[in-house]
Amino acid sequence: MEIHVAKDGDDAAAGSASAPLLTINRAAALALPGDVVVVHEGTYREWVKPPHGGLDANRRIVFRAADGERVVIKGSEVADDWREVAPGVWATSVPNHVFGDFNPYLEELGGDWFIRPNQPGERLHLGEVYLDGVALREVTSLDEVREPAAVDPVVDDWTGLPHESSSDARDTSLVWHCAVDSAVTTLHVNLGGRNPAEHLLEFNVRRSVFYPVNNHVDHITVSGFEMAHAATPWAPPTADQPGMLGPNWSRGWIIEDNILHDSKCSAISLGKEIRSGHNYAVKRKDKPGYQYQLESVFTATDLGWSKERVGSHVVRNNVIFDCGQTGIVGHLGCAFSTISGNHIHNIATRREFYGHELGGIKLHAPIDVVISDNHIHDCVSAIWLDWQTQGTRVTRNVFHSNARDLFIEVSHGPYVVDHNVFGSKAALENFSQGGAYVNNLVLGSVRLEPVPDRPTPYHLPHSTKMAGYVGIFGGDDRIIGNVFAGDSSAQPYSARTVSTASRVGFGTDVYDDAPSTFDEYLVEVGKGWGDQQRFVEVMQPVTVAQNLYLPGNTPCRREDGAHTLAEGEIRLLTDEDGSVDLEFRLPTSFVLPAHAVVRGSQLGRVRVADTAFDSPDGSDLVLDTDLLGNQLSEDLDHPVGPLASLAPGTQVVRIWPLPTTNLPERRGTRAD
């Protein structure tokens, strides 16, 4: 059955096309498995809380925007009663009953791994004020509203260097401040001489925009909407992780073709729920966040974390931007999901707050997750996979203009990274083991670091069931058929941000000290003493083979079949229309190296988890699709790198939008 919603509807109506309902929430209350909720043109200011889910993948509940119509759902309300209280300073008072039981101007940002601001007088709130759709900057006193202070140039907290992105050009002199008493919430703004009567000003009211309040509301599709202005909280892996949109510890959601922007912290959450812990490290102060995160994994297992009950979501073809923490976040609840075809940009670039959970995509325990065909740029981290990256595949993505592109932390594998373009100065950061990097183009630095003092879990193959946990000793990686073309004169880090355990380079020379065979590794381990210590002190064996190195990039000294060029250049080019090209300038006389399609069965088993590089269904994993979606014949050798069309000489190749990209059209403006 179709249930229709329109701005001229009535919640007492039948919900037909001729007698639509007024609110999406009323439609959600009526929708049952197999129903489709069709929402018509307009701006809806509500938090949609679906109480019912579908029964399975074929009997789901679908919420979709009507064909060709722009439907916007916002967590904000309009403020139109402003008074000038000082030259250039305007105020409005909102009765507290407007917020119900959640006032985002009382709720402060904070939680485990939240780093800044953290001094008295520097606290920020979950609320925002928007001028024509653009968030103003919160300040902590009325004096700063009267005379906004200059904001220092953006310096990335991870690299310690000026941020590569220059696309976030907001006017930081436009500011707001809040004060809450028992009756009203008062907002003060400085609009740089603008009169509020001539502009649209909105303020946050709702924590989320489309998010069930109960767990296990399964098999829902959300398609074709624009969503904005959610007062979402900081979402570390040790806390409840609500987003502007998400399934809230459920199974089988499809989130597709949406435009999602301006969530205080996270746009889409595929994450953890509150019962397995909620910011205990900062609340109790008795144990580190690491320990509470480890406990949350065990607790979640007791609560039913399994493939049969949680995860298996599809997030595809969405545009996500201007969020303070993450575009997509998720601990545990992201397992077995697919994230594909999304355009994610300008995440955590305003730098009003900082912590160790930032990224275009930030996932913990992404077991059997496929991340493919995405374009991620102008983010602090493009993708950060943290803990239990096992059975995970990162393939055919385009990254550039990020502080760092791909960071994989304290995981044991097996995981696969293939046919991607890493275009930022800090391209790959590997604080893990058990990875396979195949046929990528790397235009930045490579960083390798063991982490032996933070043991993390590993699992039975394609399962949430834990098999053990151990520290990260480094190595056990396979680096095959990649092209390394980074600018080695570029400085990807400041000296203060790289630990003494780090190896940073351009190419694969960071693996120079690793054994090249397992037998050699066992010999080195046998020279040590003690049951544990002799393993900690030896990097695990690494396979490095058939990679191409442009000038300034260095092969591993033990590489089998390294190819080096004395001249040549590869550049990533971006255009104002959003397209991305690669320009290749390779010697015409050069014979481009080639190799056969790589199969998981060739890569062996990772040492710690004792698990093969296979597909989620247990079949052999075949890496036979290039960046542009071309199917590679297993009977032929193909060029190294992500493009089957790569050839000597000069050529320009369009790599975004990809041929398979089907993003929603950006309709209207922020002020609509």
Q: Is residue 279 part of a domain?
A: yes
Same domain, 20 and 52: yes
| Claim to verify: residue 88 and residue 187 sit in the same structural domain | yes
Smallest Cα–Cα separation from 168: which of 11, 352, 25? 352
Query: Does 401 score more than 60 pLDDT?
Result: yes
pLDDT at 667 over 60: no
Domain boundary (69, 86, 103) is at 69
Digit-coded pLDDT (tens) for 408-465 = 999 999 999 999 999 999 999 999 999 999 999 999 999 999 999 999 999 999 999 9
Give the end of a domain, one of 17, 41, 69. 69
What is the predicted pLDDT for the residue at 668? 47
Among the ranges given (167-171, 349-353, 479-483, 565-569), the one the predictor scored with the smallest mean pLDDT? 167-171
* Same domain membership, residue 203 and residue 260: yes
pLDDT category of residue 560 using cuts at 50, 70 and 90:
confident
Mean pLDDT score, 109-114? 95
pLDDT value of residue 503: 93
Tens-place pLDDT, residues 52-68: 999 999 999 999 999 99
Closest CA to 241 of 260, 205, 215, 221: 215
Best CA proximity match to 650, nearest among 593, 568, 595, 577: 568
The SS3 of residue 275 is helix
Please write the tens of the pLDDT for every residue from 300-327.
999 999 999 999 999 999 999 999 999 9
**Is pLDDT at 508 greater than 70 in this prediction?**
yes
CATH number of the domain at 260, please.
2.60.40.1180
Q: Are residues 245 and 288 in the same domain?
A: yes
Give all strands of the β-sheet with 381-386 in edge-to-edge order: 266-269, 326-331, 359-364, 381-386, 404-409, 426-431, 445-448, 503-505
Choice among 344-348, 527-531, 576-580 with the minimum mean pLDDT? 527-531
Residues 90, 41 share a domain: no
Q: Is 581 part of any domain?
A: no
Rg of the chain over Cα atoms, rounded to whole angstroms, equals: 25
115 and 42 inside one domain: no
The predicted model gives 369-383 an average pLDDT of 97
pLDDT band, residue 120 (cuts 50/70/90) = low
Task: Answer whether residue 163 shows pLDDT above 90.
Answer: no
Reading phi first (left if > 0) and then psi (alpha if -120 to 50, else beta), residue 484 is in: beta
Print the domain residue range for 334: 76-212+221-364
Instruction: For residues 11 and 85, state if they share a domain.
Output: no
Instruction: Tell whether 12 and 108 lie within a shared domain.
Output: no
- In angstroms, the CA 198 to CA 186 distance is 20
- Per the structure, the count of domains in the chain is 2
* 175 and 301 together in one domain: yes
For residue 241, being part of any structural domain is answered with yes
The reply to whether 472 falls in a domain is no
Tell me if 445 is assigned to some domain: no
Is the pLDDT at 118 greater than 60, yes or no?
A: no
Residues 166 and 257 in one domain: yes
* Residues 6+ away with beta carbon under 8 Å from 610: none
Torsion angle of the four alpha carbons 514, 518, 519, 521, in this order, in degrees rounded to the nearest 10:
40
Cα–Cα distance for residue pair 193/491, rounded to 1 Å: 41
My answer on whether 254 and 298 are in the same domain is yes
Structure tokens at 18: 């001729």
Helix (H, G, I), strand (E, B) or coil at 274: helix
Position 619 scores a pLDDT of 96
**Residue 156's pLDDT is what?**
75
Q: Looking at the DSSP assignment, which residues form a beta bridge with residue 91?
A: 83, 188
Is residue 352, in this structure, part of any structural domain at all?
yes
pLDDT of 49 over the 70 cut: yes
Task: Tell me the percentage of the chain whose pLDDT exceeds 90.
Answer: 85
Q: Is the pLDDT of residue 209 over 70?
A: yes
Please check whether residue 502 lies inside any domain of the structure.
Answer: no
pLDDT exceeds cutoff 60 at 167: no
Pick 149 or 630 by higher pLDDT: 630
Q: Indicate whether 185 and 330 sit together in one domain.
A: yes
- Per-residue pLDDT, averaged over 603-631, amounts to 96
- Span 634-650, mean pLDDT? 94
First-to-last alpha carbon distance for the chain, in angstroms, is: 31
Q: How far is CA 305 from the centre of its chain?
A: 22
Residue 467 lies in a domain: no
C-alpha span between 157 and 115 (Å, rounded): 10
Least-confidence region, from 40-44, 82-86, 163-167, 226-230: 163-167
Residue 501 has pLDDT above 90, yes or no: no
Average pLDDT over residues 615-642: 96
Q: Which two tokens stand for residue 579?
A: 């397209």
> Could you tell me how far CA 437 lies from the centroid of its own chain?
20
Q: What distance in Å separates the CA atoms of residue 463 and residue 510, rounded to the nearest whole number?
A: 32
Where a domain ends, among 69, 90, 121?
69
**Phi–psi pair at 108, nearest 5 degrees:** -100, 150
